[in-house]
């Protein structure tokens, strides 16, 4: 018998499926008048998202502290689609960064202050990631009743590109290296008069999450293909201020830790910094 571990709302719950495994289930009225220990009516289950590892369970609990459950289940559905349709697996931290991204865009659209992202189009290099992101917009519209701009495909695809992994791969957070990286980044950001304020808090926190998991990725084998080198030149020309700050961070981290970073990281740094300072595109 499948028992409820936690009720999220009338339409979704966390359940125990045996063998120390859990799953998120959703369906209309599936958890109505139910509580912890209640059984689930299986024919009401529309969707199920498995949490097969302790790490994935921890990730869910982390998300539920700050992210509405509808955003969380939408994120799981998008990633689940990538896994089933394209056998595309991502590291657990993608659930955190992608849900944060969706929540931020969702809130800005509702408030009427959405600004189209200026992430370069890389669909020729990453057709699978862009196909998943394109489908993501349909899932978001169906689940959240809001239409995301087409430019969001580029932003969502980047989360998949940045967090591609395999089923057996996990990223272990390394406290010492993570603290070193954060110290470097904060010093450079402060030197450039970039601080966390209400207006940029979403982007700032997302950058910090990226950096936190960067420390855990440093010793992992690099199996992701490099981004087009022309992209670095293009972004350097378009966002010279962002490039200079990002490059300072990129070089300082390598020097401090004595490890080589993928050139992809520089691109991601530029994108994060550009979001923080909203630098005008240079023609």
- Residue 173 pLDDT: 44
> Of 122, 138, 170, which closes a domain?
170
Q: Are residues 81 and 140 in the same domain?
A: yes
Kindly give the residue spans of alpha helices, DSSP state H, lying in the chain: 54-64, 69-86, 93-111, 127-144, 152-162, 175-191, 201-217, 229-238, 240-257, 263-277
- For the stretch 232-282, pLDDT in tens is 787 888 889 999 999 999 999 999 888 888 777 888 888 888 878 875 455
Q: Are residues 39 and 140 in the same domain?
A: no
Distance of CA 174 to the CA centre of its chain: 19
142 in a structural domain = yes
* Cα 187 from Cα 193, distance rounded (Å): 10
109 in a structural domain = yes
CATH number at residue 31: 2.30.24.10
Q: Are residues 35 and 106 in the same domain?
A: no
**Spatial CA neighbour of 215 closest among 256, 243, 186:** 256
- Residue 144 pLDDT: 94
* Cα 56 from Cα 90, distance rounded (Å): 11
Q: Are residues 217 and 145 in the same domain?
A: no
Q: Are residues 123 and 224 in the same domain?
A: no
Q: Are residues 102 and 165 in the same domain?
A: yes
- Residue 114 pLDDT: 87
160 in a structural domain = yes
Token digits of residue 247 = 């490059």
Q: Are residues 14 and 45 in the same domain?
A: yes
- For the stretch 209-246, pLDDT in tens is 778 767 666 655 554 556 666 677 878 888 899 999 99
Q: Are residues 157 and 229 in the same domain?
A: no
Q: Are residues 39 and 80 in the same domain?
A: no
158 in a structural domain = yes
> Of 30, 52, 74, which closes a domain?
52
- Residue 95 pLDDT: 86
**Spatial CA neighbour of 163 closest among 101, 105, 249:** 101
- Residue 75 pLDDT: 93
- Residue 171 pLDDT: 45
Q: Are residues 209 and 116 in the same domain?
A: no
Token digits of residue 48 = 């199920």
Number of domains, the chain? 3
* Residue 82: domain span: 59-170
Q: Are residues 72 and 164 in the same domain?
A: yes
- Secondary structure (DSSP) of 70-91: HHHHHHHHHHHHHHHHH---B-
185 in a structural domain = yes
154 in a structural domain = yes
Calculate the average pLDDT of the chain: 82
Q: What is this structure's pTM?
A: 0.65
283 in a structural domain = no
- Secondary structure (DSSP) of 172-217: ---HHHHHHHHHHHHHHHHHTT----GGGHHHHHHHHHHHHHHHHH
Between 1-5, 80-84, 127-131, the lowest mean confidence (pLDDT) is in 1-5
- Residue 227 pLDDT: 60
The more confidently predicted of residues 219 and 121 is 121
CATH number at residue 251: 1.10.1790.10
12 in a structural domain = yes
Q: Are residues 98 and 165 in the same domain?
A: yes
- For the stretch 137-191, pLDDT in tens is 999 999 999 999 999 999 899 889 877 765 444 444 455 777 888 889 999 999 9
- Phi (first) and psi of residue 13, to 5 degrees: -160, 160
- Residue 225 pLDDT: 52
């Amino acid at each position: 018998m499948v028992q409820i571990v936690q009720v999220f709302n009338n339409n979704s719950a966390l359940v125990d499926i045996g063998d120390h495994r859990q799953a998120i289930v959703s369906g209309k009225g599936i958890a109505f008048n139910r509580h912890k220990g209640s059984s689930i009516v299986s024919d009401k289950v529309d969707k199920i998202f498995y949490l097969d590892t302790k790490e994935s369970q921890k990730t869910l609990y982390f998300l539920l502290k700050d992210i509405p459950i509808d955003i969380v289940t939408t994120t799981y559905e998008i990633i689940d689609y990538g896994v089933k349709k394209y056998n595309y697996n991502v590291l657990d931290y993608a659930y955190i960064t992608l849900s944060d991204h969706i929540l931020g865009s969702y809130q800005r659209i509702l408030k009427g202050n959405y600004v189209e992202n200026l992430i370069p189009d890389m669909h020729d290099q990453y057709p699978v990631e862009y196909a998943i992101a394109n489908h993501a917009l349909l899932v978001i519209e169906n689940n959240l009743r809001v239409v995301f701009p087409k430019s969001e495909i580029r932003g969502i695809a980047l989360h998949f590109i940045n967090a591609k992994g395999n089923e057996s791969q996990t990223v272990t957070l390394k406290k010492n290296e993570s603290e070193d990286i954060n110290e470097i980044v904060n010093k450079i950001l402060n030197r450039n008069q970039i601080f966390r304020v209400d207006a940029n808090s979403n982007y700032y926190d997302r950058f910090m999450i990226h950096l936190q998991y960067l420390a855990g990725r440093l010793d992992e084998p690099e199996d992701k293909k490099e981004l087009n080198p022309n992209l670095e030149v293009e972004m350097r020309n378009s966002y010279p201020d962002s490039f200079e700050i990002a490059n300072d961070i990129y070089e300082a981290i390598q020097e401090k830790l004595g490890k080589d970073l993928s050139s992809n990281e520089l691109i991601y740094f530029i994108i994060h910094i550009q979001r923080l300072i909203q630098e005008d595109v240079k023609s």
